[in-house]
Amino acid sequence: MTIAGDEGAANTKRRTVRRELLAMLDGLDVGDALPSERRLAETLGVSRPTLRAAIDDLVADGLLDRRHGSGTYVAEPRIAVPLTMTSFTEDMIRRGMKPGGRVLSFRTASAGAKIGRRLSVSPVEEVFTIRRLRLADGASMAIETLYTPTELLPGLRKEDLEGSSFYDLLRGRGIVIASGTETIEPTVTTEEEAADLGVPVHTPAFLFERVTRDERGRPLEYVRSVYRGDRYRLEIDLRPPST
């Protein structure tokens, strides 16, 4: 009984410290440093283990960023990503953010076996391979590699994709996006991805792979996107099954 009582008191204290830390964050800006753990523990009148546990919770929630050997800082807010059939540009606009991007590479090459299977085309058929850095309010968000048959958008240029939505380009040519399949898995950034995103190598990230199709079921694109794990969280709209 004593142990259970002690655990309950510790949890109550931890929740209290969390609320006090959240109130403190209201007066800080992104990138601001928190006082040292020793100073915070003295100010809040709690033990350092209790303080550290509360900070761990806020780090897990994406509100704080603990940097080894440096301190704890106010983190960039994470953007909720709904699992819907929308483009990156549409997602950012809906959240009141300014979408942007930069084409890192743009080339034409044979699909090869893997991409050919994804797009249901011959391995020798030509496809555009487009690698883009996606931005929101000027901050890096994701690295996207897009593959699409050249016959789908003949004459497509690198400039057409600078700051534009690929889906808008398709719609502009009368191509209807009807369905898609997407998979999501945790990953870490490679050296190249980390350099493009401006984060440390092996930073936690989300890997999105999507194939979109037209009304006849023809694949229009295969996209492989690496989203920063410190800036994104997934949002799923759940509904009970119909009876």
Contact 83, 43 (CB under 8 A): no
- Taking only Cα atoms into account, the Rg of the chain, rounded to an integer number of angstroms, comes to 23
Q: State residue 3's pLDDT score.
A: 44
Query: Do 142 and 227 form a contact (C-beta atoms < 8 A)?
Result: yes
Q: Per the structure block, which two tokens stand in for 134?
A: 């996606």
- Which backbone phi and psi does 56 adopt, to 5 degrees? -55, -40
pTM surpassing 0.85? no
105's CB contacts (< 8 A; 6+ apart) are 129, 130, 131
Per-residue pLDDT of the chain (243 residues; tens, 9 = 90+): 444 455 556 667 778 888 888 888 877 887 888 888 888 888 888 888 888 888 887 877 677 888 877 888 887 766 555 555 566 776 667 667 777 788 999 999 999 999 999 999 999 999 999 999 988 888 888 999 999 999 999 999 998 888 678 888 888 889 988 888 888 888 999 999 999 998 889 988 999 999 999 888 899 999 999 988 887 766 666 667 655
Would residue 198 be called left, alpha or beta, if left means φ above 0 and alpha means ψ between -120 and 50 degrees? left
